[in-house]
Amino acid sequence: MVLLVPIAVFLLAITVLHVLTKLWLNRYVRALPPGPRGLPILGNVSDMPKPGVLECHHWFEHKKKYGPISSVTVMGQTIVIINDATIALDLLRDRSGIYSSRPSLTFSGDMVGWRHVTAMMPYSDTWKIHRRNIKKITSTATSLAEFDRIQETETAHFLANLLDAPERLLDHIRHETGCVILKVVYGYDISRYKRDPLVDMAETTVAQFAEASVPGRWTVDTFPFLKYLPNWVPGTGFKKTAQTMSDQLIQCVNQPYAFVKQRMHEERQTPSFLSQSIATIGTDADAEFIHKWTALALYLGGADTTVSALSTFFLAMSLFPNIQVAAQSELDAILGVPPRLPTAEDLPQLPYIEAVVKETFRWHQVAPMGLPHTNTSSDTYSGYHIPQGSIVLANIWAFMHDPSTYRDPFIFRPERFLGPEAEPDPRRHVFGYGRRICPGKHMAERALKATIASTLVVFSIEKEGEVETTFCPGLLSHPSPFKCSIRARSGVHEGVVRGVKERLVAQGDGRGDAEELEGVRW
């Protein structure tokens, strides 16, 4: 143990030397984008977002002080902040050849293990394999048709649950979203009448991902040598946190994978992304590793993101009830009165619902700062030098609330996307950029559109008490807890939901696969 202290001192010295070298070299290059003056060696450590503050709001202050592109440097690491939509497209989309990698985050990537998941992997041949595998299920007509079938069933369950217990809105959203994505990825049926262990496990894992992966959140990302300090050293509690998160992540990767393999061995699997991948590619060590992590990536990309977007929709409806009148008028015209629930075939005929979905994406983004990019070679933009390996952050929230682009940006107004003078489509930004654009965006849109349309067909949403428009910080951002009143539009509409529920109950016992999952050895 005594030897560890001089080792840590040596590592600190190496780190300081590395930082000084980078700072010395930067003296001879063109100016970085403007930003606050930093401290010697430490740089702008004190200028990073504080805990509890929305990162997008913190970095938006840079636009007021330094302009549309700015930078900070922490221990020699350059972080470039983009607060202008055009600049984001110029760099991250049009120059995606050099801006498509991800930064290495010591805490999230190395200590927890998130470097293996597709969204956080550096640009590489392995990442390309992940991407191809994911697109097989997210882009083909056959897979999307199967997704629509599952989505319609789970949306019906969601409506039935909402009618019986509207006060548990967030639980129902999480349940519906978990049902859909776990069925698609693993062929897993969740329990209908109690909390499901795989849903709970996956939700915890995703929440930890959002906490672990915010650039600048963890001191060890700034001072990587800290990970080598022994656990008894004061201030190393982050190591225990990382180990807890890592254990959770490993279970979430391996247990559902073992569940699918066991079912395939017994020849009773439900067709899914993972079972098809195993059947077509095989299970040698390399393939197995890819199967596990691409499966988790699909869940990560489709679960918590949809929960956030749907929560934002319900918050918006409680604050802007007039939107429901226009949406329900369109739905009634297409679906008739007495109504029926919409199908995938109906959705293209609902332009106002399409606009509601776009406005949900714009009004508050699932990932307000997007996922961090890094450039694989040095670049110059508007005379500013962007060193190789910079962390590049796009403030998507700022783009979506720019009054020069979106009139009254804090008002939820779907009409802004209709007509000949429609405002820019937010999907150019909210799903990412260039080679890193979200491969599951079509599924995300379909899920959101189906649930929103079905909800507004049968329910009216009103605010309950005073509702504040606040959102939680983190890589993935959700509305702060709020209450709203959800009621059937009429007795006829309640009858539609009751009838759907009766048919669903007749189709199965709702026990799901939880007991079998818990018995799987991995």
Q: Which positions make up the binding site?
A: 438
> What is the Cα–Cα distance from 361 to 308, expressed in whole angstroms?
10
> What is the Cα–Cα distance from 484 to 486, expressed in whole angstroms?
6
Q: Which residue has the tokens 């800290």?
A: 226
Q: Which residue has the tokens 């983009």?
A: 82
Residues 6+ apart with CB under 8 A from 255: 198, 201, 517, 520, 522
Cβ-contact 429, 85 below 8 angstroms: yes
Q: What are phi and psi of 80, to 5 degrees?
A: -105, 130
| Binding site, annotated residues for heme | 438
Q: What DSSP designation does 21 have?
A: H
Beta-bridge partners for 259: none
Cβ-contact 337, 481 below 8 angstroms: no
Q: What DSSP designation does 466 have?
A: -
> What is the Cα–Cα distance from 236 to 229, expressed in whole angstroms?
7
Cβ-contact 92, 373 below 8 angstroms: yes
Angle between helices 197-212 and 169-186 (to 10 degrees): 100
